[in-house]
Structure 1
């Protein structure tokens, strides 16, 4: 791939760290004009347009959409990457309504609202790609680690499939990418918390987590850049016949066909 997205306008939510940052950087290298959202402005925003926004707040989507359309007049690629597994460990009994609501808002409703705000401009131009960053946890939930997160991401997958069917006739493509365990700052924070709660080392915490998930056939976590490579390929004309698909990138972790 070489400048395959030159001139395209792309939005990456949660794009200042981890997978989102890698996606934004890859989109820039492929020639896209990139808009990144996050709650906090990073020190270096060279190469992209930054919009501060908390996507757990319903009004944020309209504010983001208005700024993009006012400045650029259109949107070609939406990568709904914002999300996190913020709930406490321990299963149903320790999860409050507030835990469920927080996870649902960030991992599902943020994407629903962003899409709703920007889809009219995409349908008007009869082109566009929407990619949801879901999770392998949607198809391999771990009851004491990912219960509400898995439920929200599974709902995101179903929503993505439905939306793909609805907008295909308008020339739009909609997909989901489902990473497994990825070496990101959020994963590091999670492992540190797990290690502290269990009074074990980081290496032991990683072994505990991978054992719960069924171990990693490739023997390592993914790098954020590996996820970014797939996302940018799917956003490109080279994937023009791919839509409505949930693309697993979990290093062989999911044991089913």
Structure 2
């Protein structure tokens, strides 16, 4: 069970303008709420709003899997906020193919790249002039996935796209460092969200095991809560991480084989 040790500082992100993709549920919604709790103004987007969508954010319905959708959202976000200080590229999804890599249709490889990787490249590019105008102290945080660290056949397209996202973030961090703009990546492990739960259920059914078995190997004894990831994102976007860029913070309860 996630434990909250202290309440967020309500002024930590005061006057910060934050853009979050995929913010209607799960990890995205937790990230949006964390920035709201810290006093930020937040604009978020998803294909549809849900009951999890935080009420304090400005929600703009959209689809960032296409360049046109990204450009439309970027324009609307800047109109709403008047600028941007923090970009959180969280949008992501894919379908498991139990037949392995060879069973993944070509169009789903393209879809996975568009949503999980190119959406971040396009949105960051569209907002970069505003981010540069905000100056030193602004930040980009990309949300990757444990599937990028331990890719499996049924989700190879998703893992490949998220691995590309981490590589892009590392390169962008070096390029933007002279401007004082920090770029980091968060790689979640097994986190309980509606989308991830549906994927795990598909895999559990194929294996003939209960859903709980798919998260039983986490060394810290429990699967992740979306707020675990949101706290990591808040740290990386804050002045507490002012000397951190190009880093990939793994938030996984100790499960992934990383060094």
Give the drift of 1:113: 0.6
Structural mapping, 1:117-196, within 5 Å: 117-127=126-136, 128-142=138-152, 144-196=153-205
Relative to structure 1, is the Cα distance of residues 45 and 29 closer, same or farther in structure 2, using a 3 angstrom cutoff? closer
Matched residue, 1:95? 104
Q: 2:207 and 2:226 mapped to 1: Cα distance?
A: 27
Given that 1:180 and 1:250 are in contact with CA atoms closer than 8 Å, whether structure 2 keeps it comes out as yes
Matched residue, 1:230? 232
Encode CA deviations 1:19-59: one digit per residue, 9 max, x unaligned: 00111001000000011100013356520101111111211
Matched residue, 1:35? 43
Given that 1:87 and 1:148 are in contact with CA atoms closer than 8 Å, whether structure 2 keeps it comes out as no
| Pair 1:60 & 2:62 matched | no
| Pair 1:239 & 2:257 matched | no
Structure 1's unaligned 5+ residue stretches are none
Matched residue, 1:216? 218
Matched residue, 2:4? none
Given that 1:87 and 1:99 are in contact with CA atoms closer than 8 Å, whether structure 2 keeps it comes out as no
Give the drift of 1:90: 2.6
Given that 1:85 and 1:146 are in contact with CA atoms closer than 8 Å, whether structure 2 keeps it comes out as yes
Q: 2:254 and 2:211 mapped to 1: Cα distance?
A: 23
Encode CA deviations 1:203-224: one digit per residue, 9 max, x unaligned: 35x26xx6xxxx3212221111
Encode CA deviations 1:55-90: one digit per residue, 9 max, x unaligned: 112111111111122232210111000001324223
Stretch moving more, 53-62 or 35-44: 35-44
RMSD of equivalent CA atoms: 1.7
Give the drift of 1:200: 4.5
Query: Does the residue aligned with 2:30 lie in a helix, a strand or coil?
Result: helix
| Pair 1:5 & 2:5 matched | no
Encode CA deviations 1:143-172: one digit per residue, 9 max, x unaligned: x33211111111111100000111111121
Moved beyond 6 Å, runs of 4+: none
Structure 2's unaligned 5+ residue stretches are 1-7
Query: Does the residue aligned with 1:132 lie in a helix, a strand or coil?
Result: strand
Encode CA deviations 1:162-202: one digit per residue, 9 max, x unaligned: 00111111121100000000011112211332344455433
Relative to structure 1, is the Cα distance of residues 148 and 117 closer, same or farther in structure 2, using a 3 angstrom cutoff? same
Query: Does the residue aligned with 2:125 lie in a helix, a strand or coil?
Result: helix
